[in-house]
Amino acid sequence: MDKSIESISCFEFEWDEPGFIHKWIIHVSLHPAISPISHTLMVKFSPMTWNFEITLDLIDKYNPASIVNMKNQNSPEIITIEDQNFGSHVEHWNLLTDNPTTDVPKWLGLALNSPVMPMGLCPQECDMDESTWLIQGPKKAAVQINQVIAVENNKPQAVKTAFPSFEGPYKVAAKIERIISCKSKTQAVLRLNLGANTIVYAFDALYSVNHGHYEKGQTYLAQLNAWAYELEAVSDHEQLVVDDPASIKHHRALNDILAANDGVAPANLQEQIDAWEPKSEDDKEPVTVDFSKMVAYLYGENMGQEDEAWFQGNIVGKTSMSFMDQDYTLYDLALIHDENQEATLIRIATKNEANQDFQIGQFIRGNLWIQVNIRSKKQ
């Protein structure tokens, strides 16, 4: 369900400084049932710093009703960091275009010509944060251009951030263990527990509307997808030789202990590994590990950038989409696949022509920017 907008139109566009500052005039008119206010905005956008400035000429048709922002006191753990500590949206836009300084301002204007305002977990408009608007567009486009706008007294003040997103088909049951956010609540990275101690970090595309509604211990339906930075095929029978004595002992001890327990790890596994001793000289020889069929996921190590991840997984589906006359290849793949557990599937998008020829069943690896959309609780 989307919050209706009567009209948002871009009726003037110009360069303020050649190659650096973009300026356009926007007319915003929300549906009277939601907000009886018409706004005229002049937006200045600097791609060098990715900052936005807005000046307004406001025409109030009526006195807007006050909206009460419901604060959830039972929220997951929240860690607040500075905005600059998040992953760079400049790098994210570069995944969509080789000319972000010209294309992105144009896309922002086009998005405002056919916008939607997603409600996320909010049951009604009155449950939404009155200090922020999240505007997406163009409506029904394969790729959505997101603009998070700071609002005061129901009047837009500044575009705080902008980023691209798209929808994937895969939803997983997840609890939000931690929220890494900023003071303005415009963006966040979520630590998601998918069960069986499976953890995924993802950039929350709907955080600006959802932040007041997340509950500790609640299970949500989380839709995961990702933009690919780099991808490469995994060679068949790709091997790693382990020659470190401590690693050799750990590997052989683990294999022996699991074999003796029908593949089930005993409660005192680490204690048994520590006590294990080689029975012959062969047990001390280097170990060759074939990891060409390995499914692996490593999230980013920097606070606020855990959504920037490395993965290796097998392709289970392949399709495509188009946006602004550009073709994107979409791969459905296993992000996580632990033994005796269902695989966690994710759809990834790439515009790079060099990444178009991977096939279903093939193992690939690379770097991703992982996103999540949460619109409902798991019933």
Per-residue pLDDT of the chain (379 residues; tens, 9 = 90+): 444 444 444 433 344 433 333 444 444 444 443 333 344 444 444 444 444 444 443 333 333 322 233 345 689 999 999 988 898 899 999 999 999 999 999 999 999 899 999 999 988 888 888 888 999 999 999 999 999 988 888 888 888 999 999 999 999 999 999 999 988 888 999 999 999 889 999 999 999 999 999 999 999 999 999 999 999 999 887 777 888 888 889 889 988 998 999 888 888 999 999 999 999 988 889 888 777 888 999 999 899 999 999 999 999 999 999 999 999 999 999 999 987 788 999 999 999 999 999 999 999 999 999 999 999 999 8
Q: Rg for the chain (alpha carbons), in Å? A: 24
* Short-list 108, 134, 131, CA closest to 119: 134
Position 231 in a domain: no
Give the pLDDT confidence score for residue 240 in this predicted structure. Answer: 76
Asked if residues 103 and 111 have their Cβ atoms less than 8 Å apart, the reply is no
CA distance 23 to 17: 9
Q: How many domains does the chain have?
A: 2
- Write down which residue in 130, 161, 192 finishes a domain: 161
Shared domain check, 250 and 149: no
- pTM, two decimal places: 0.73
Shared domain check, 255 and 108: no
Shared domain check, 107 and 20: yes
Position 123 in a domain: yes
Give the pLDDT confidence score for residue 150 in this predicted structure. Answer: 86
- Write down which residue in 161, 195, 215 finishes a domain: 161
CA distance 19 to 21: 7
Shared domain check, 12 and 134: yes
Position 251 in a domain: yes
Tell me the longest C-alpha to C-alpha distance in the chain: 87
Shared domain check, 274 and 143: no
Position 359 in a domain: no
Position 264 in a domain: yes
- Write down which residue in 161, 185, 217 finishes a domain: 161
Shared domain check, 135 and 18: yes
CA distance 182 to 177: 17
Position 28 in a domain: yes
| Domain span holding position 266 | 239-290
Residues 6+ apart with CB under 8 A from 327: 320, 321, 351
Position 12 in a domain: yes
Please count the residues of the chain. 379
CA distance 157 to 135: 14
Give the pLDDT confidence score for residue 68 in this predicted structure. Answer: 31
Position 216 in a domain: no
